[in-house]
Amino acid sequence: MPEMLAPLLYLDSSADRAESVSRRLTAQFAGEWRRGGGKVCHRDLSADPVALISAAYARLGRRTERRGVLSLAAIAGLVADEAERREWELTRPLVTELRDAGTVLLGVPMYNFGVPAALKLWIDRISFPGVFTDPETGRKLLADKDFVVVSARGGGYGPGTPREGFDFQEPYLRAYLTNLGVSPGRLEFVHAELTRVGDLPALAGLADLAAASLAAARGRVRELAAARSTAG
């Protein structure tokens, strides 16, 4: 019997649930994954926002860090009061969900040159000290997972464009995810650019470039989904 493929964890963060380009691309990826027989776990970070971390989260995090890398059960044993218990109950399921995934898909529109607040709330919540390191071996628990970031940008931020230096989306996510333990060779970025070409006069005349960027993104999403959904 073939080995069961680990599930796809699929996260959307666009506030626009009607015309979002990033949502259309992540939905395409998830559809390809399902056709390959894989299980999909979808979380809509905009429709169901992750709670803002509190002082109790910070207290529990500092107490944990002082003891080194701990198991999730051991962290639960450090909870000191109801506020900390609530924070851990909000955090642990998201951490477990990510640890259990085989492939992680992030849909990320560019907001103000960076990532949406909805995604940042999730990032802050899952970044609890040591939860993605094996306490027995020191192994990075995300190192054997594939991460695919699908982004949509209203303008153009590629090499050689006037706004190349305004892209704080990919550099931030690349730095954050690799620091968390994701292997650089298993981290892919797919960008659809000039998505506001029909709205902004400043982008007049760039419709062909926008269409080519979207077509390339769709093709790359298809390739990545097909490759990963049959990897098991």
The answer to whether the annotation marks 22 as part of a ligand binding site is yes
The answer to whether the annotation marks 112 as part of a ligand binding site is yes
Given a contact cutoff of 8 angstroms between Cβ atoms, the answer to whether 193 and 157 are in contact is yes
Q: What confidence tier does 168 reach under pLDDT thresholds 50, 70, 90?
A: very high
The 10s digit of each residue's pLDDT in 129-138 is 999 999 999 9
Please state, for a pLDDT cut of 90, what percent of the chain lies above it.
Answer: 84
The answer to whether the annotation marks 179 as part of a ligand binding site is no
Average pLDDT over residues 200-221: 92
Given a contact cutoff of 8 angstroms between Cβ atoms, the answer to whether 163 and 153 are in contact is no
Distances (CA, A) of 213 to 164, 192, 209: 16, 5, 6
What count of residues does the chain have? 232
The answer to whether the annotation marks 110 as part of a ligand binding site is yes
Q: What confidence tier does 228 reach under pLDDT thresholds 50, 70, 90?
A: confident
Of 231 and 55, the structure prediction assigns the larger pLDDT to: 55
The answer to whether the annotation marks 113 as part of a ligand binding site is yes
Q: Between helices 21-35 and 207-229, what is the axis angle to 10°?
A: 30
Q: Is the pLDDT of residue 112 over 50?
A: yes
The 10s digit of each residue's pLDDT in 69-86 is 999 999 999 999 999 999
Mean pLDDT computed over every residue of the chain: 94
Please state, for a pLDDT cut of 70, what percent of the chain lies above it.
Answer: 97
- The pTM (predicted TM-score) of the whole model is 0.94
Given a contact cutoff of 8 angstroms between Cβ atoms, the answer to whether 9 and 41 are in contact is yes
Task: Give the whole-angstrom CA distance, residue 152 versus residue 62.
Answer: 36
Task: Give the whole-angstrom CA distance, residue 195 versus residue 22.
Answer: 10
Q: Is the pLDDT of residue 94 over 70?
A: yes
Given a contact cutoff of 8 angstroms between Cβ atoms, the answer to whether 145 and 181 are in contact is no
For residue 12, the 8-state DSSP code is: E
Name the architecture of domain 8-47+101-124+137-229: 3-Layer(aba) Sandwich (3.40)
Distances (CA, A) of 151 to 64, 173, 195: 34, 11, 11
Q: Is 192 exposed, middle or buried (0-12, 13-18, 19+ CB in 10 A)?
A: buried
Q: Backbone phi, then psi, for 205, in 5-degree steps? A: 90, 0
For residue 41, list its beta bridge partners: 9
Element (H, E) at 126: helix 117-126
Given a contact cutoff of 8 angstroms between Cβ atoms, the answer to whether 116 and 108 are in contact is yes
Q: Is the pLDDT of residue 106 over 80?
A: yes
The answer to whether the annotation marks 20 as part of a ligand binding site is yes
User: Would residue 219 be called left, alpha or beta, if left means φ above 0 and alpha means ψ between -120 and 50 degrees?
Assistant: alpha
Average pLDDT over residues 10-24: 96
Q: Is the pLDDT of residue 67 over 80?
A: yes
